Every structure is written in C-alpha cells, then in structure tokens.
C-alpha cells in the first residue's frame, strides 16, 4: 500500500455544514450546529433537531459532527464531537482526489453580452439562435391564421 499525503485528500468540512440553520443571523431553535446560537440559547434547547451531520456517504472514511445537549449541566450546554466514521460497504470511495467532483460550478448567467455564446454552447433543436418564425398563411375563412407542423392557431373576429 502506498501512503498518500493528507494534503491530496479532499474532504468537505462537516463542522461547517448545518441543514437546520434556516434563519439568517438568528438562532434556530434546537439547531445545535447553528453558529448564530450562543451558550445562553443552547441552555434553552431540549434536544438537537439534527444530532449528526456527515459528509459524503459514498466515502469509506468520512467525518461526522455529533451534537447533543448535556441536560445534567447547570445551565444545560451543547456538546460537540468531531469523529471519523468508517463505511462498512465494500463499494466505497477510498480517496477523492478530483477536486471538481466535490463542488458545483454555478452556471453563467445570460446577459446581453454573453447570450449568443451561451446559445451556441448549449443550444439545440428546441432552442436556437436562428429565427424560427414560421410561415403565416391566410385562410379564406379566417382573417387571421397561423399554422406549422405541430400547432395551429386561429383568431376569428365575430
């Protein structure tokens, strides 16, 4: 077995993940991972709504943040532990060394300047830069008539 340097292993920081932190700049009730909560807030909690936060479940070894409330302390206080969990599955990812695999690259927002480029890059049969104006035909029975292979619209003035 080859020993890898820990700097080449990329892991998300589970201590910074908090799925119950819904309010901006406010403490969420019973959310033990909320960074906006103070020791006074934690003393009022009865339990932790999310007791464990883990990283990618496909990894063989992953970090887990465990939160609980020590109700025997006066006042009650939050307990935080950071542990490594082992995945018992034999089909797990041992090492993640492809940095882009753990991140989402936000798509480019279309603007007047980059629209044609994005259209060329992502356009297809349903969306293209070329004009798809379909022929307009006049029907003898209707003053307004529009038709193509898939749709037919008629406007009649009564």
In this prediction, residue 66 carries a pLDDT of: 93
Backbone angles phi, psi at 108, to 5 degrees: -70, 135
In this prediction, residue 98 carries a pLDDT of: 73
Write the DSSP assignment of 27-89 as a string of letters. Answer: PPTT-TT-TT--HHHHTT-SS-SS-EEES-TTBSEEEEEEEEEETTSSS-EEEEEEEEEEP--
Fill in the DSSP letter of residue 154.
E
Give pTM, 2 decimals.
Answer: 0.51
In this prediction, residue 157 carries a pLDDT of: 62
In this prediction, residue 4 carries a pLDDT of: 40
Burial 104-117 (b: 16+ CB within 10 A, else e): eeeeeeeeeeeeee
In this prediction, residue 131 carries a pLDDT of: 47
In this prediction, residue 13 carries a pLDDT of: 75
Cα–Cα distance, 139 to 154 (Å, whole number): 9
In this prediction, residue 158 carries a pLDDT of: 54
CA distance readout (Å), 81 to 37, 40, 43, 84: 17, 20, 18, 10
In this prediction, residue 149 carries a pLDDT of: 55
Helix, strand or coil for residue 153? strand
Q: Measured between alpha carbons, how far apart are the two ends of the chain, in Å?
A: 84
In this prediction, residue 90 carries a pLDDT of: 87
- What does the chain come to in residues? 158
Q: What is the pLDDT along the chain (158 residues), one digit of tens a residue?
A: 334 444 444 455 777 888 899 999 999 999 999 999 999 999 999 899 999 988 888 889 888 999 999 988 888 889 999 999 998 888 988 887 776 665 667 778 888 898 888 888 877 545 444 444 444 444 444 455 555 555 555 555 65
Alpha carbon 70 to its chain's center: 32
């Amino acid at each position: 077995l080859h020993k890898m340097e820990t700097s080449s292993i990329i892991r998300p920081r589970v201590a910074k993940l908090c799925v119950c932190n819904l309010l901006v700049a406010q403490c969420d009730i019973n959310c033990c991972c909320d960074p906006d909560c103070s020791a006074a807030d934690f003393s009022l909690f009865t339990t932790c709504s999310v007791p464990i936060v883990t990283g990618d479940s496909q990894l063989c070894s992953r970090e887990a943040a465990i939160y609980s409330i020590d109700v025997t302390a006066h006042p009650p206080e939050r307990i935080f532990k950071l542990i490594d969990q082992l995945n018992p599955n034999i089909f797990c990812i041992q090492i993640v060394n492809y940095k882009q695999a753990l991140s989402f690259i936000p798509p480019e927002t279309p603007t007047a300047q980059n629209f044609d480029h994005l259209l060329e890059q992502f356009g297809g049969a349903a969306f293209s830069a070329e004009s798809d104006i379909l022929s307009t035909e006049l029907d003898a029975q209707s003053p307004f008539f529009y038709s193509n292979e898939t749709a037919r619209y008629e406007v009649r003035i009564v």
